[in-house]
Amino acid sequence: MKKKAITSPKKKSRVNEKPVILITNDDGITAPGIRSLVEAVKDIGKIVVVAPDKAQSGMGHAITIGQPLRLHKVQMFEGVESWSCTGTPVDCVKLAVDKVLHRKPDLCLSGINHGANHSINVIYSGTMSAAVEAAIESIPSAGFSLLDYSIDADFSGAKKYARIIVEKMLSTKLEKHTVLNVNVPSKPEILLKGIKICRQAYAKYVEDFIERKDPHGKHYYWLTGEFVNFDKGKDTDVWALANNYVSVVPVQFDLTHYAMKDKLKNWEK
Amino acid sequence: MKKKAITSPKKKSRVNEKPVILITNDDGITAPGIRSLVEAVKDIGKIVVVAPDKAQSGMGHAITIGQPLRLHKVQMFEGVESWSCTGTPVDCVKLAVDKVLHRKPDLCLSGINHGANHSINVIYSGTMSAAVEAAIESIPSAGFSLLDYSIDADFSGAKKYARIIVEKMLSTKLEKHTVLNVNVPSKPEILLKGIKICRQAYAKYVEDFIERKDPHGKHYYWLTGEFVNFDKGKDTDVWALANNYVSVVPVQFDLTHYAMKDKLKNWEK
């Protein structure tokens, strides 16, 4: 395999050239949410879509190791180069950079997800994992989610804020590993009170698997769960969303727990 | 569905009662690594194994939403209650707590993984995601990995240090959200220099998808990549492993980038 350098955006971008924006998601390329995201930012940059060919919710940071991947050129969004991919959201970002763009885009956007990705959801979310993957690759990124799972969800508020945030990202000197987790309340646009920069709430699902028997008498289990917020802070994403703010949590992929690291030092003897 | 409380270990454990230790992995219940982990700690506690029925490497924090899960009681390890599960490593932890143990175990151990989970691998790793899931559930946990992918790998060093670390975990007053990412060099036990408490190195795979054509002339892609360490620090897991130390990185699941949060405050206007 001949190696080729993947150039960084700075080396390729020229003055007055529109930024290259990679768009992906985890609900699949046919989901209304990704169409909303493309529409929201279409005139801001050169958009390229590489997204899963089917829903990939809850895939977290999964990658495909044991089987090969396919890319199919599709016509989904007028005037926008679009590819559907057989892999996970993270696979999409990796393949897009290496085999579609042959360079790093200036920005990677993921979503708009149908459903919340606040608090602990950031860890399970394919939408957010795609954004994190981009940031690992030194591509500033943002994942967008609307707190409405419905296929008929009203994306107007989410579109408005996606555009505002992308414009802010492009006009700010962002660290190359920037990842923003953006969630938008499921409320009419007029009721949204603006952006709140937050921390991730300690909130999680309390599991309750539903147990059923198949026609042969054998048990099977469906994952369900009740969402419980254990975090009473007013600086969290869950608080902001409950109070009609658009929550923005900057995310990092260095998972080191530094405070605990210091405490465990005596284990070295 | 009738709700039942999942009790915390403290409420159930009695004086002199052995700790309940849940063991899982991502290489599947038949992998030599999980057998080594069971052997290493078998006499320390009451061991229950709930592990995937097939290899689940690279699954990250994926959960199974769109289909039900199955649990099968198996006889794998003498005198140890063992279940194989059709889901991901994270599913295994969730199902184990809710449907097998009906309580939180005192400790959750994952591995021993066949292959490294240092640096950025923590994000892709099913082994580590299972451990993180346990910690979200307030169960102190550790993931163990040996830097050898081989099915015939020599686990003796990894077993020795798994036991040392589990004993330290049980004798230390650990925070309930503790997660330790433990990696062991692929070296004879005698050459291992001890434990090093580390931070996660900024090291990653530089992707290079191998492109092939199927018999019908259509392209497909295999994910490959070259591991590159961009981090010259001597306090990282990659450094420790290269110098024959067993690396221990305490991991957190609050992904908030606090420094960046402060910088973005002016976006609120």
pLDDT of B250: 98
| Residue scoring higher pLDDT (B14 or A259) | A259
Contact A132, A253 (CB under 8 A): yes
pLDDT of A8: 53
DSSP secondary structure letter of residue A120:
T
Structure tokens belonging to residue B75: 């006889």
- The mean pLDDT value for A238-267 works out to 96
Structure tokens belonging to residue B241: 């492993």
The burial class, CB within 10 Å (0-12 / 13-18 / 19+), for B75 is exposed
pLDDT of B7: 52
Is residue A195 over pLDDT 90?
Answer: yes
Interface test with B, best of A4, A99, A183, A257 (most B CBs within 10 A): A257
Q: What percent of chain A has pLDDT over 70?
A: 94
Of B154, B213, B164, the C-alpha closest to B186 is B154
Q: Is the peptide bond before A197 cis (omega within 30 degrees of 0)?
A: no
Structure tokens belonging to residue A27: 């609900």
- The mean pLDDT value for A116-121 works out to 95
Q: Looking at the complex, does the CB of residue A98 fall below 8 Å from at least one CB of chain B?
A: yes
CB < 8 Å to B210, chain A: 1
Q: Do the Cβ atoms of B221 and A99 come within 8 Å?
A: yes
B 36-95 residues with CB < 8 A to A: 55, 57-66, 68-71, 90-91, 94-95
Q: Note the residue count of chain A.
A: 269
Of A144, A9, A61, A169, the C-alpha closest to B260 is A169
Q: Do the Cβ atoms of B264 and A256 come within 8 Å?
A: no
Q: Do the Cβ atoms of B253 and A207 come within 8 Å?
A: no
**Dihedrals phi, psi of B130, to nearest 5 degrees:** -60, -45
Q: Provide the ipTM.
A: 0.91
Is residue A108 over pLDDT 50?
Answer: yes
Domains and CATH numbers, chain B: 15-201+233-268 (3.40.1210.10)
Is residue A100 over pLDDT 80?
Answer: yes
Q: How close A14 gets to chain B, by Cα (Å)?
A: 25
Q: Looking at the complex, does the CB of residue A158 fall below 8 Å from at least one CB of chain B?
A: no
Residue numbers of chain B with a pLDDT score lower than 70: 1-16
pLDDT of A6: 54
A 114-143 residues with CB < 8 A to B: 120, 122-124, 129, 132, 136-137
pLDDT of A1: 38
Contact A46, A21 (CB under 8 A): yes
